[in-house]
Structure 1
Amino acid sequence: MKRTMGLLRIWILAGWFASVSAVLAAGPASPAPRDTVYLFSTFREPEQDGLLFAYSPDGHHWTRVPGRFMEPRVGGKVFRDPSICRGPDGIWHLVWTSAWRGDRGFGYARSRDLVHWEDQRFIPVMEHEPETVNVWAPELFYDAPRNRFIIVWASTIPGRFPDYLEPRTNNHRLYYTITRDFRQFAPTKLFWDPGYSVIDAQIVFTDPGYVLVHKDNTRPERRLRVAFGSSPLGPWRDIWPPITEPFTEGPSALKVGDEWILYYEAYRDGEYRALKTRDFRVFRNATREMTFPPGLKHGTAFRATRADLERLLQAGAAAGQP
């Protein structure tokens, strides 16, 4: 009898561990399909207005959420390129570009409801490199199998890499840090040197591999490309030729149904555009299928619930802000 009970306990524990492992591998729980809405974190010029949102029921037709939801108070007090990611505990994490130049870090805040943001801090990730010109477009990625957050951004360190056609103060490479709690951060390391100036990187998990969407920021290009890897830290291989027209940036990929929508900013033309793909190798122009609110800027598209959206709409309406 004791042997039978012992085996039963082992079987139950094994099932429990398997369940937990499956949850961690899947990452933060996604809302049920009928409860799903899509949000887009964004900002507007002149960059001090803080966090704004747009929403969509289907990933195709976007509307501005009234109101502002967080005013920047750290670094250069600029607010650009907001990236939002939800942890397995349900907490939302936000990082953003806090200055055009001079800051050797980025802004951070956290929220339980997307409306009220707390613990606003400056994260000095490039403090050890005093010649750093800038820290641009930090991007969050939750690495579910390892229960950690990877943060990737672009910085220029003059003279660190060959300049070719790039000015010494505008020759970027990608750097990263890792954290589990946004209190302790692993030492900053070089994330990727593709042999050209690169900014605006987003890691995308495509099962079974990963895609790195990024902007080739060299003077002849200034448009988006993709690379592929078996790990969220690379190495990145099979760098694809440019997939967008010149003067494009700020990619954000969102899985809707069986396809990925890759939103991006055509900044010279002052508009948002979109591509669709199933494999990040073949793309088709989907801009005519989309509607975007005027002034949408570089941010992150992500899944949320109808309750999340309702809270944002109520808070924005109560604040009486456009």
Structure 2
Amino acid sequence: MPTVHVLSYFTTEEESLHLAVSVDGRTFHAVDDGGEILRGAIGSESIRDPFIAVGPDGRFHLLGTNGWESDAIVHTASDDLLTWDEQTLLPVMGAVAGTLNCWAPEFFVEPDSGRARIIWSSVVDPHPVDGPQTDRDWNRRHQVIWSCLTTDFTELSRAEVYFDPGFSVIDASVLVQDNEVLMAYKDEQGDPVVGGAHNRIHVRRTTPSSSEELGAVTPSPTEGPTLYRHDDEIVMLFDHYLEGRYGAVSSVDGHTWTPAAVQVPSGVRHAAVMTIPSEHPAVAALLARTMIGGR
């Protein structure tokens, strides 16, 4: 079945939802010339790290980071990716004392249960150091990936640690393939240095019976990975956040990754890619608002 890929992202200038579309899996064309699609209207009134996927109800659901310091994440839903419901805050860490942040939320629908598993990274410190949180060194904090389950993005299960390799990690992104889960995540140890040993994207494969670490697959420093499948390849995009550019690698098996040529709009920050059938009613309207469809 032919598919298209929809890139959701924010920019440094506009911490809000922006979209781009690709029909070949390699070149993404900005919707509305890169203009803002949705502005934050709740909490910090910003939408960082916007992530969109199809929920258990068949609708598009958007999750986003509610600023740097919050125990909740932004949520809204849409049928066409252009008009969105009223925004809400999901208190995913509201019951966990000492929560300092909820960053880069995403979700995937579990094949066995049909429920949406929301994942994000948080620091939990019941006894934080003195002074405002903005003065704290996040690189010295122990971030881990947390998760909860939902069927309707209203009722949430209690948050639990989903992944903690023993060192600080953020930006988990998941690709579900049959009965296995391929997860990319950022090693958040130490200070980011170009060419350093940390602050790189690692890949992990989990099946019902085993888990396997596949190693680091990007240079340092990189963050914000997103995984998607195009034809027979798995593609990963990632943010060279200190260098102001985007990178990509591809793989046929999740083990061996090679550099890939992918073009994204100027100014993209922490993007996520959703793949949907080309005949979905939302696609024609999106394409019409890009260079592909006439803009």
TM-score exceeds 0.5: yes
Residue 87 of structure 1 aligns with an amino acid whose one-letter code is: G
After superposition, what is the alpha-carbon deviation per residue over 1:46-71, rounded to whole angstroms, capped at 9, x for unaligned?
343x2110111101111111132211
For 1:82, the equivalent position in structure 2 comes to 50
For 2:133, the equivalent position in structure 1 comes to none
Answer whether contact 2:174 2:227 (CA < 8 A) is retained: no
Cα gap change, 1:88 to 1:192, in 2 (>3 Å): closer
For 1:129, the equivalent position in structure 2 comes to 96
Answer whether contact 2:116 2:151 (CA < 8 A) is retained: yes
How far residue 297 of structure 1 moved from its aligned partner, in angstroms, is: 1.6
Residue aligned with 1:299, SS: strand
The answer to whether 1:205 aligns with 2:179 is no
Answer whether contact 1:158 1:169 (CA < 8 A) is retained: no
The answer to whether 1:115 aligns with 2:115 is no
1:268 and 1:236 map into 2 onto residues whose CA distance is 35
Q: Tell me how large the CA RMSD over aligned residues is.
A: 2.3
For 2:194, the equivalent position in structure 1 comes to none
Residue 172 of structure 1 aligns with an amino acid whose one-letter code is: Q
How far residue 310 of structure 1 moved from its aligned partner, in angstroms, is: 2.9
Answer whether contact 2:31 2:289 (CA < 8 A) is retained: no
Cα gap change, 1:236 to 1:175, in 2 (>3 Å): farther
Q: Which runs of 5+ in 2 are unaligned?
A: 128-136, 191-196
1:224 and 1:78 map into 2 onto residues whose CA distance is 26
For 1:93, the equivalent position in structure 2 comes to 61
Residue aligned with 1:144, SS: coil
Q: How does 1:185-196 map to 2 (within 5 A)?
A: 185-196=156-167
After superposition, what is the alpha-carbon deviation per residue over 1:70-124, rounded to whole angstroms, capped at 9, x for unaligned?
11112211211111111354310010001112x1110000001111100310011
Answer whether contact 1:106 1:122 (CA < 8 A) is retained: yes
Answer whether contact 2:99 2:126 (CA < 8 A) is retained: no
2:52 and 2:254 map into 1 onto residues whose CA distance is 22
**Identity across aligned pairs (percent)?**
29
1:294 and 1:315 map into 2 onto residues whose CA distance is 17
For 1:265, the equivalent position in structure 2 comes to 239
Answer whether contact 2:55 2:109 (CA < 8 A) is retained: yes
Residue aligned with 2:283, SS: helix
The answer to whether 1:253 aligns with 2:227 is yes
How far residue 170 of structure 1 moved from its aligned partner, in angstroms, is: 2.8
For 2:19, the equivalent position in structure 1 comes to 53
The TM-score, its normalising length taken from structure 2, stands at 0.86
Q: How does 1:1-322 map to 2 (within 5 A)?
A: 32-33=1-2, 36-48=3-15, 50-66=16-32, 67-101=35-69, 103-158=70-125, 170-219=141-190, 220-231=197-208, 237-286=211-260, 289-304=261-276, 305=278, 307-312=281-286
2:76 and 2:189 map into 1 onto residues whose CA distance is 32
How far residue 184 of structure 1 moved from its aligned partner, in angstroms, is: 0.8
1:294 and 1:216 map into 2 onto residues whose CA distance is 26
After superposition, what is the alpha-carbon deviation per residue over 1:28-51, rounded to whole angstroms, capped at 9, x for unaligned?
xxxx31xx2211011111343x21
1:274 and 1:106 map into 2 onto residues whose CA distance is 27
- Between structure 1 and structure 2, the one with the greater Rg is 1
2:145 and 2:37 map into 1 onto residues whose CA distance is 29
Cα gap change, 1:236 to 1:297, in 2 (>3 Å): farther
Answer whether contact 2:139 2:188 (CA < 8 A) is retained: no
After superposition, what is the alpha-carbon deviation per residue over 1:241-297, rounded to whole angstroms, capped at 9, x for unaligned?
3111111011111110011111111111111111010111111111xx222211112
1:63 and 1:316 map into 2 onto residues whose CA distance is 6
1:222 and 1:41 map into 2 onto residues whose CA distance is 23
Answer whether contact 1:68 1:316 (CA < 8 A) is retained: no
